[in-house]
């Protein structure tokens, strides 16, 4: 079983009771969700750029979509300009 903080045991137990997940699977789900929400804005922008580029979108479409997605993150970052997004991706 994966190591997890005791503070998440209640959430894992809840998932085991309310879903078909086993304890180990529920623990992995909790850790995956926590890691998702722990992602920095820079990592999110780079990851989404790669994902959208792999789908064949061009940079104009990619950056428009990323700018639209950012305010909907769990902790929304300050509004970033197109230039700031490009600097995150390309340095």
Q: For residue 37, give every residue at least 6 positions away whose Cβ sits within 8 Å of its Cβ, in sequence order, or none.
A: 74, 75
The answer to whether 27 and 12 have CB atoms below 8 angstroms apart is yes
pTM of the model: 0.65
In this predicted model, which residue has the larger pLDDT, 73 or 11? 11
**List of residues 6+ apart from 24 with CB closer than 8 A:** 1, 2
Instruction: Identify the burial level of 54 via C-beta atoms within 10 angstroms of its C-beta, where 0-12 means exposed, 13-18 middle and 19 or more buried.
Output: exposed
56, 38 Cβ separation under 8 angstroms: no
Q: CA geometry: angle at 55 spanning 51 and 57, to 5°?
A: 95
Confidence of residue 38 (pLDDT cuts 50, 70, 90): confident
Query: Which pLDDT band holds residue 30 (cuts at 50, 70, 90)?
Result: very high
């Amino acid at each position: 079983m994966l190591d997890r903080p005791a503070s998440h045991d209640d959430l894992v137990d809840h998932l085991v009771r309310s879903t078909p997940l086993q304890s180990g699977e529920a623990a992995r789900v909790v850790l995956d969700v926590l890691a998702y929400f722990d992602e920095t804005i820079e990592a999110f922008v780079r990851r989404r750029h790669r994902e959208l580029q792999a789908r064949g979108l061009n940079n104009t479409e990619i950056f428009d979509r990323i700018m639209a997605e950012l305010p909907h993150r769990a902790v929304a970052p300050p509004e970033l300009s197109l230039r700031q997004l490009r600097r995150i991706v390309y340095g």
